[in-house]
Amino acid sequence: MIRELSAERGVRPWAWLMALAVHLVFVVVLVFGVAWRQKITPPMQAELWDNLPAPATVTRPVPPTPLPPPPPPAPVKAPEPPPPAPVPQTPAPVKTPPAADINLKKKAEEKKEAERKQAQKRERELAEEIRQQRAAALREQEQDEARREAEEARRQQAAQVAKAAQKAKAALIDRYKLAIINKIKANTEVPEGVPDGLTLEVDLTVLPTGEILTPVRVVKSSGNAAYDQAVLRGIMRSQPLPLPSEPELRRDFRTTHLQLKHEK
């Protein structure tokens, strides 16, 4: 066809080929240049409506609201690699301690054992000492109790002995007083007409020899002067009075109180 056109217009064929090649090179350069400088625009989204609303009467066109850019695609999670196979562990070789460490350890254990035995021995000695102290305190307490009981028994016994001695002494004094009263009555000449039942009380001061110091003190009169005088004369005639032989008992008669009652 090019040949026919060339033949009709009188143009050579190689000139057309040259022009066609130049245009192709220009188109290729233009396309690559535009594609190199062209910016990547986000994809457009369109909405489809079943029924279009009636166009509103506006004075000016409202530009469409730009749609937000689409969210970036979620990253694809790469599959986790399978866990590595467990590597068999070879047991560590047992390290044998040197002989010096064994000796030191043995000495330390022996020292610790000796200290433990020494502590136990001290505890036993302390417990034994406490036991002995308690036993000694208990024995001392029992001895004190026994001494108190013995002292109380001796005191009671001494009191009983003293009481018995006092009682015996009182009985002996009463007996000697009765002897003195009987002697005085024997030496008293009561006048006729003196009624029975008269009593004269006197205090006598008697020497160890039985002698009486005058005057005789009348403590209580019988109410009958004749009887009182007769008794006083009988007292003086009764010297020496009968007294016990013991000097200690004679001292008890230093002051003698007598009740002389008239009885026929």
Low-confidence spans in the chain with pLDDT less than 50 = 1-11, 58
What would the pLDDT profile of 19-49 be if each residue is shown by its tens digit?
788 888 887 777 766 555 555 555 555 555 5
- In the chain, CATH 3.30.1150.10 sits at 163-261
Cα-atom radius of gyration of the chain, to the nearest Å? 80
What would the pLDDT profile of 187-222 be if each residue is shown by its tens digit?
999 988 888 889 999 999 999 999 999 889 999 999
Distance (Å, rounded) from C-alpha 64 to C-alpha 37? Answer: 27
Topology of domain 163-261, CATH: 3.30.1150
Amino acid making up residue 50:
D
Copy the structure tokens of residue 216: 């005789």
Q: What is the pLDDT of residue 86?
A: 58
Q: Of 259, 138, 128, give the one whose Cα is nearest residue 199.
A: 259
Q: What is the pLDDT of residue 25?
A: 81
